[in-house]
Structure 1
Amino acid sequence: MRTHTTRTTTRRTLVLALTTALFAVGCGSEKAGDIGTTKPRARDTSSPSAGRAQQVADAWDGSKAAKAWLKGYFPMGDAAQPPAGGFHSKDDKTAYEERSYVLRGELPATATEEGKVQWEGGGSLTLPLLDARQTYSALNRYGNSGDPHLTVTGAKLGGMTIATSRGPATVPAWLFTLEGYDEPLRRVALRPSKLPKSPIGELGESPTELMPIPRLVDVSGDGQTVTVLANHGACDDGPRVKALETGGSVVLTATVDDGKQDPDLPCADIMLEKKVRVELDRPLGDRILLDAYMGRPVPYGEGNWASPSWS
Structure 2
Amino acid sequence: MRRPVLLLVLPLLLVLPLLMLATGCATTGADPADGPTAPAHRSEAFDQRATEVAEAWRPSADWRTGYVPLQGPTILTGDPGFTPDTEAAFRAGWYREQVPIPPTRVGGEIRFPDGRLTLPLVSAAEAYRQLDQGDPLPCPGRPKRPGRPTPGLTVEPGPDGWVTSGPETACLPLTVTGVELGTVPVRTSRGEAQVPAWLFTIEELATPVARLAVAPTAVTPVPEPTAPARPLPEGLVAAQDLTAVDGARLTVRLGVGACDTGITPLVSERPDVVVVGGSVTRSTGVCPDMLKLEPVTITLAAPLGARPVLDVSTGAPLSIVPR
Tell me if TM exceeds 0.5.
yes
Counterpart in the other structure of 1:40 = none
Conserved 8 A contact 2:75-2:322: no
68 and 208 in structure 1: CA distance in 2 versus 1, 3 angstrom threshold: farther
Alpha carbons of structure 1 residues 234 and 301: separation in structure 2 relative to 1, 3 Å = same
Partners of 2:43 and 2:77 in 1: CA distance: 50
**Equivalent position of 2:17 in the other structure:** none
| C-alpha distance in 2 between matches for 1:182 and 1:244 | 39
Q: Label 1:84 to 1:227 Cα distance change in 2 as closer, same or farther (>3 A).
A: closer
* Equivalent position amino acid for 2:134 in 1: G
Question: Does structure 1 residue 289 correspond to structure 2 residue 309?
Answer: yes
Cα distance in 2 for residues equivalent to 1:97 and 1:46: 37
- 1:211 alignment partner, one of 220, 226, 237: 237
Alignment length (residue pairs): 248
C-alpha contact (below 8 Å) 1:79/1:162 kept by paired residues: no
Partner of 1:106: 100
What is the match of residue 30 of structure 1? none
* Unpaired runs of at least 5, structure 1: 1-42, 304-311
Q: 2:298 aligns with which of 278, 283, 304?
A: 278
Alignment pair present for 1:55 and 2:52? yes
Alpha-carbon distance in 1 for matches of 2:316, 2:322: 18
1:106-129 Cα deviation digits (max 9, x unpaired) = 3222212x432112x340123331
Over alpha carbons, which structure has the higher Rg?
Answer: 2
Aligned to 2:198: 174
Per the alignment, in what secondary structure is the counterpart of residue 297 of structure 1? coil
Q: 1:45 to 1:281 in 2, by over 3 A?
A: farther
Counterpart contact for 1:243–1:252, Cα < 8 Å: yes
Percent identity of the aligned residues? Answer: 32
Partner SS, residue 63 of structure 2: helix
Report the equivalent of 1:14. none
Q: Find the residue that maps to 1:268 and give its secondary structure.
A: coil
CA distance in 2, matches of 1:84, 1:298: 22
* Contact 1:215/1:229 (<8 A) preserved: yes
| Partner in structure 1 of residue 89 of structure 2 | 95
Pick aligned residue for 2:128 from 121, 130, 136: 136
Partner of residue 150 from structure 1, selected from 174, 186, 192:
174
More helix by share: 2
Query: In 1, are the aligned partners of 2:175 and 2:202 still within 8 Å (CA)?
Result: yes
**Alpha carbon RMSD of aligned pairs, Å?**
3.3
TM-score by length of 1: 0.67
8 Å contact 1:240–1:257 — kept in the other structure?
A: no
Shift of residue 248 of structure 1? 0.6
Pair 1:73-2:67 in alignment:
yes
Identify the structure with bigger relative contact order (alpha carbons < 8 Å, sequence gap 6+).
1
* Structure 1 stretch displaced more, 202-211 or 146-155: 202-211
Looking at structure 2, the residues matched to 100 and 270 of structure 1 have their Cα atoms a distance apart, in angstroms, of: 29
